[in-house]
Structure 1
């Protein structure tokens, strides 16, 4: 029993950290929640066959709540590009549907590898991004812009993240101001999290070796432990994002991704 209490405390703490990161980086907090859930489920002895699916599905469920709070905070500060949101939204949603079908049917090790590889690539991109004096670029037109949106939705839902992990670097590459990129990414997280959660619950329905209080690949105990504090701290992160320098924000983003990638690679060895 004491072990369960400790693990619940870890999840509650992870929720608080995830909320801050959600508001700070526009990533929905999944970049923290997925690894924490993965290792907590490991300690609880949950089978490897469903462990990563549970971490991803539960993370997406938490993003419905933290993403909403984060997006609202950024909206109030005027840092959500509604035009881009409208043009990217349908393509992201199509990618989410495809990614949910794929993610709900592949082995857990595949999801873990996808998470580790993408996080590492994005961390490198953000850490070594050229200065703002580099050649100016604009977002491409159709159909390449829609293809980028589909890729964001596909990989985000397979990783259990809110989309900021991919959309923030892409928008930064095309010289979007980092704060506007973070705010828009937080809104994209809602488009990813809601259908993604439904999909993982559906594909995991009746799966063997699921822990108690699970609806498919969504664990309600993890959800309840993480969400309250993450919703409380998400506005703090959004406030911090508007007070620190863009360069510091970018390096903070890269650092978290690098550490997470290393941990997930270690789990595969």
Structure 2
């Protein structure tokens, strides 16, 4: 009788766990594809989705957004590796730009995680959504850069990298939503800007993951299997799928019209930003 009474609960718990895992695998596949397609780390997709999934798992409300940011940033590491390899094979990465911008990226991203960890969940969600909406608007307006715009020197690139890294840490993106528009503004063709941005996403992800691990260290009421704010089951599930699908997106990025790429980018960011606000404020 006791075993019979426990069976429905066990089945419900098992079903919930399966749903959670399948959702993470699907999210990883979806994120990896768009990471390769648009040169983004995927945080703009992962953070809203993880926020919703963590709410459903009844994780501590005060840490949900921080965990989504940290987990997303960590999962970007293998996604960025897969994406940059694919774009490099298409000769779409300007490596001197990556090298010049990397020092500022590392500094800005690591420092930005400290500010993100200090802020409460709702202000973080508002900042994330507003930022993504502005990026989407910029892409929709499709303003053409002046022909005179060129890439700055080493100091200028490092300064730009610090700003990109800091904002990327606050919204857990691989930097593509900033790096791509910046490179296009400097008259770099969009497919090359996407490929270079994919490479820039790797130092952003590494510095961001380290920062969120440090800032979440010692927090007592986090779920099991966390390192700092990083929830490792989600990282592993998403990374496994994104590593497969990122090269597929990168391949498609060099075949689709540029105007269509920009529209896909903008619509995706707007939809996910709105959904994240609804999720956080409805919780």
TM-score (norm 2): 0.90
Moved over 4 A (4+): 141-144
Q: Within the alignment, does 1:182 sit opposite 2:194 as a pair? A: yes
Q: Distance in 1 between matches of 2:123 and 2:187?
A: 32
Per the alignment, residue 24 of structure 1 pairs with 37
Q: How does 1:15-54 map to 2 (within 5 A)?
A: 15-54=28-67
Q: How does 1:63-212 map to 2 (within 5 A)?
A: 63-131=76-144, 135-141=147-153, 143-212=155-224
Farther off after superposition, 230-239 or 45-54: 45-54
Cα displacement string for residues 191-211 of structure 1 (whole angstroms, at most 9, x for unaligned residues):
111121111111111213211
Residue pair 1:104, 1:203 contacting (<8 A) in 2 also? yes
Q: Distance in 1 between matches of 2:157 and 2:226?
A: 37
What is the root-mean-square deviation of aligned Cα atoms in Å?
1.6
Structure 1: gaps (5+ residues)? none
Residue pair 1:104, 1:199 contacting (<8 A) in 2 also? no
Structure 2: gaps (5+ residues)? 1-12
Shift of 1:3: 1.8
Per the alignment, residue 257 of structure 1 pairs with 269
Q: Distance in 2 between matches of 1:131 and 1:195?
A: 32
SS at match of 1:91: helix
Shift of 1:241: 0.3
TM-score (norm 1): 0.94
